[in-house]
Amino acid sequence: MKDKIQNDYLIQSGPDSLGFVETKYFTFAEPPDHLVLESGTKLGPVTLAYETYGTLNAQKDNAVLILHALSGDAHAAGWYEGDKKPGWWDNMIGPGKAFDTDKYYIICSNVLGGCKGSTGPSSLDPARGKPYGLDFPMITILDMVKAQKYLVDHLGIEKLLGVAGGSMGGMHVLQWVASYPSMVRSAIPVAAGLKHSPQQIAFNEVGRQAIMSDLEWKNGDYYGSASPKRGLALARMIGHITYMSDSSMEEKFSRKLKNGKYSFSFHPDFEVEGYLHYKGDDFVKRFDANSYLYITKAIDYFDLSESNALVAKSKEENIRFLVISFKSDWLYPPYQSVGIVRKLKAGSVDASYCEIDSSYGHDAFLIEIREETSLVKHFLSRIYREVIDER
């Protein structure tokens, strides 16, 4: 045990670790200056939970905004006291890492609609004195990005050195370029596409139905009583299947049995079953079912495929793209990332693309750190060198 503590201490205080970090909060859109959502509905006040790592330089031109995926949060890197795991992209963010905190100022915020400190359906509705539940308005990827822009403005940053994220975070990246091209120097969408495809919408809908079929869901009005744990766990189990690949599941579980023999019952016999149950049960401890509904719906609404917004100003603003996909990702397959690149090339926008030969499926964006580091590190250095030359 002592060794374990010693080991954790070393990890937390190693030369490439950020050590302990803390979440900060920013509240804006106080009525009557509401945040006007894409649906036309007004929302306010809005709070975003966020973390920052590294130091914003005097010119304020070294800021990189990191965007998280469906179940992520503002805690992208570093440690909370007493935690066994660091932030969700800790192996990419820190001193000397891909997002090098010795050089860059890294920002990550929990999305609007989330449940990790930002305003979402589990937050208190000030008008009614109780949690929003289903009275929370429908939100979109654009709304989430609008909220992030308030935060970036608040931090005094006029132009971000980069915006980067995987999966839903990749959609935020694209939306940032489409909505605020003059505020972005470079964009790194990872394992994402121009639109949410019918297959992706279908998986999200099954997840939502799992939650809404749980009797404890009570039309979203479950705060203060039992929450729809079964439904949310089931949604997460389905999600996890789509994040892995046939070969990564074979490698990780094969047909291994939990207790060495068949139980001849409906108890989970196979390790893969145990894993999914564990992941589902673990998820309900840290995630709100209504947030899952709202965020997946926002993802489903995402579609920049027909619009010219992504390329309209990108060339003029000289925005550089690094698009990354993973060979075995069948949830956000490489052809969808190629779709982004094709659109950019057609608009004469500078874009690099790499399809990483990984067997880990969609999860690869959190696993293939060596490859992602090589790409991101050199790509960002190049952009930053140009910024310094321009000064």
Partner 1 sequence: MKDKTIKPDHKIIIDIINKGSKVLDLGCGDGELLHNLAKVKKIKAEGVELNEENIYSCVEKGLSVYHRDIENGLRDYPDNAFDYVILNQIIQEIKNMEFLINETFRVGKKVIIGFPNFAYIKARFDLFFKGLAPVTSSLPYEWYNSPNIHFGSLKDFKTYCVDRNIKIIEAYYLGDKNIIKFLPNIFAVSGIFLIEKNPDII
| Interface positions with partner 1 (CB under 8 A) | 320, 322, 338, 341-342, 345-348, 350-357, 371, 374-375, 378-379, 381-382, 385
- Exactly one of 329, 337, 358, 363 is catalytic; name it: 329
Give the nearer residue to partner 1 in terms of CB position, either 122 or 337: 337
Q: Which of 390, 306, 378 is nearest to 103 (CA)?
A: 378
> Shortest approach of partner 1 to residue 241 CB, angstroms?
27
Give the nearer residue to partner 1 in terms of CB position, either 293 or 380: 380
- Exactly one of 71, 167, 325, 328 is catalytic; name it: 167
Strands 63-67 and 162-166: parallel
**Cβ pair 293, 115 in contact under 8 A:** no
> Shortest approach of partner 1 to residue 350 CB, angstroms?
5
Q: Indicate if 348 belongs to the active site.
A: no
Q: Indicate if 118 belongs to the active site.
A: no
Q: Indicate if 329 belongs to the active site.
A: yes
Q: Which of 217, 188, 224, 179 is nearest to 352 (CA)?
A: 188
Give the nearer residue to partner 1 in terms of CB position, either 29 or 190: 190
> Shortest approach of partner 1 to residue 258 CB, angstroms?
37
> Shortest approach of partner 1 to residue 306 CB, angstroms?
18
> Shortest approach of partner 1 to residue 54 CB, angstroms?
22
Give the nearer residue to partner 1 in terms of CB position, either 150 or 365: 365
The dihedral sign for the CA sequence 327, 377, 160, 390: negative
Altogether, the residues listed in the chain come to a count of 391
Q: Where are the beta strands (DSSP E) in the chain?
A: 24-28, 35-36, 42-43, 46-53, 63-67, 93-94, 99-100, 105-109, 124-125, 130-131, 162-166, 186-190, 320-326, 351-356
**Cβ pair 29, 41 in contact under 8 A:** no
Give the nearer residue to partner 1 in terms of CB position, either 256 or 378: 378
The dihedral sign for the CA sequence 110, 141, 61, 377: positive
Give dist(CA 44, CA 73) in Å, integer: 21
Catalytic residues: 167, 329, 362
